[in-house]
Amino acid sequence: MSITSLAPERAAPVAGPSLPHPRGHLTRWLFAYLRGEPSGPRPAVAAIGDAGRDEDLQLALYCCYELHYRGFCDVDPDLEWDPEVLALRRGLEYCFVDALLRLRGVATITPEATEARLLAMANDGGGPSLSEFVRAAADVEQVRELCILRSAYQLKEADPHTWAIPRLHGEAKAATVEIQADEYGGGHAPSMHGALFADTMRELGLDPTYGAYLDLIPGVTLATTNLISLFGLHRRWRGALVGHLALFEMTSVGPMGRYADALARLGVGPAGRRFYEVHVEADQEHQHIALERMVRGLLRSEPQLAADVVFGAAALTEVEGRFTEHVLGRWRAGRSSLLAGQRLEGVRALSA
Ligand SMILES: [Fe+2]
Ligand SMILES: [Fe+2]
């Protein structure tokens, strides 16, 4: 007997966006399967050279994960735990994680040295700064592009990290809950950070509907969100999820302030800037809660997770570095950072 046969009626799949357009054989199979159309046998996921940028792999993974968030209006919600979908997802995840592990390696590190390592990573400017470019030189179309790219994460901001809460205990759990409560506006819906980001999109003339721009978002951007979902949905990666959230909070204040400055320079009003200004204030505190209570609390109770904590932070640095390289590279070449073939004219049409 299936679980759904226990329900009086099959749940109607009404919420969420519709599936995007496929980008290759993996998404072609996945979308046909999810729609209940003839799809043939599930494709094997072969090793992919650059899994972090692969359009087909990252979109397939993103859509597998979306079944655990808001789903798609044209997909039966019961497919969230479908064995075929989970088997495909597993293959995609192996490719993605393997690429990250090969790029960074997993450091051997003691729990005592972990906080210092995270601080060093937070203070390491590394490559070029996207926020510095945006503050100094971005035009309003580039800011709109950036919002479209970031919408894949920001419209469900905090949700992937919330998966950590049932996997932690004691001080680490309490600290995570304190951070996440702020991310959800302290229980006030209009103040949820995802809602504030929707306000910014509206102020910029964009469509804040969840999933509205998925077809414009390249794999290198989807990878930044997929990384958190991957860590969040696997208890095995709880240390990496904590490391990711810690570095996230520790590297937020400066960039968020610069984005707020950019919007002010471009004449965007307070409602559009509030998302960024709220982060400047909140993350001033969150960075300390994250490092001194969440990470410290976790490693006191589970010291064997130190290397995973550092891996999670390193993986964040890696995917964000690639994202920045992509956006600045396109802009410096006078091109759009949106998915190849999609221009801002397409964005205007969508938001009209
Ligand atoms: Fe936030
Ligand atoms: Fe925060």
Residue 47 has what pLDDT?
76
Per-residue pLDDT, averaged over 59-79, amounts to 97
**Whether residue 3 has pLDDT greater than 60:** no
**Whether residue 199 has pLDDT greater than 70:** yes
**pLDDT tens-digit map of 296-322:** 999 999 999 999 999 999 999 999 999
Q: Which two tokens stand for residue 51?
A: 């899994």
Is the distance from CB of 151 to CB of 197 less than 8 angstroms?
A: yes
- Minimum-distance ligand to the CA of 158? 1
Helices (H), the chain: 25-34, 55-66, 83-104, 111-123, 130-137, 140-154, 159-162, 170-183, 193-203, 219-233, 238-250, 253-265, 270-289, 296-301, 306-332, 344-351
Ligand 2 centroid from CA 119, angstroms: 16
Ligand 2 centroid from CA 206, angstroms: 24
Residue 11 has what pLDDT?
53
Residue 101 has what pLDDT?
81
**Whether residue 67 has pLDDT greater than 50:** yes
Per-residue pLDDT, averaged over 44-63, amounts to 91
Say how far apart CA 76 and CA 71 lie, in whole Å: 9
Is the distance from CB of 304 to CB of 238 less than 8 angstroms?
A: no
Ligand 1 centroid from CA 157, angstroms: 6
Which residues touch 314 (CB under 8 Å, ≥6 apart)? 104, 107, 121, 243
Ligand 1 centroid from CA 58, angstroms: 24
Give Cα 104 distance to the centre of its chain. Answer: 19
Amino acid letter, residue 200: T
Is the distance from CB of 283 to CB of 184 less than 8 angstroms?
A: no
- Which of the residue ranges 21-35, 183-197, 274-288, 336-350 would you say has the lowest mean pLDDT? 336-350
The pTM for the full model equals: 0.93
Per-residue pLDDT, averaged over 197-202, amounts to 98
**pLDDT tens-digit map of 105-116:** 556 889 999 999
Taking alpha carbons only, the member of 140, 113, 179 closest to residue 264 is 140
Amino acid letter, residue 116: A
Amino acid letter, residue 333: A
- Report which of residues 83 and 47 the model is more confident about: 83
Ligand 1 centroid from CA 271, angstroms: 16
Max CA distance (Å), the chain: 61
Ligand 2 centroid from CA 44, angstroms: 38
Ligand 2 centroid from CA 22, angstroms: 33
State the chain's mean pLDDT as an integer.
Answer: 92
Taking alpha carbons only, the member of 116, 57, 111, 128 closest to residue 88 is 57
- Which of the residue ranges 111-125, 181-195, 213-227 would you say has the lowest mean pLDDT? 111-125
